Amino acid sequence: MIVAGVVIETVPGAAPRVAARLLHEPGVELQGGDGDRRLAAVVTCADGAALDALAERLVHGLAEVVGVFPTYVADEPDAAPAARAGRDPR
Looking up residue 64, the CATH number of its domain turns out to be 3.30.70.920
Q: Determine the Cα angle at 39 with ends 51 and 34, to 5°.
A: 165
Q: Residue 18 pLDDT more than 70?
A: yes
Confidence of residue 85 (pLDDT cuts 50, 70, 90): low
Contact partners, residue 54, CB within 8 Å, separation at least 6:
25, 27, 28, 43, 45, 68
Structural domains counted in the chain: 1
Mode of pairing for the β-strands spanning 65-75 and 38-45 = unpaired
Residue 85 belongs to a domain = no
For 59, the domain range is 2-76
Residue 25 belongs to a domain = yes
Residue 82 belongs to a domain = no
DSSP character at residue 80? -
Residue 47 belongs to a domain = yes
pLDDT value for 78? 65
Q: Residue 87 pLDDT more than 70?
A: no
Which class for 25: exposed (0-12), middle (13-18), buried (19 or more C-beta within 10 A)? middle
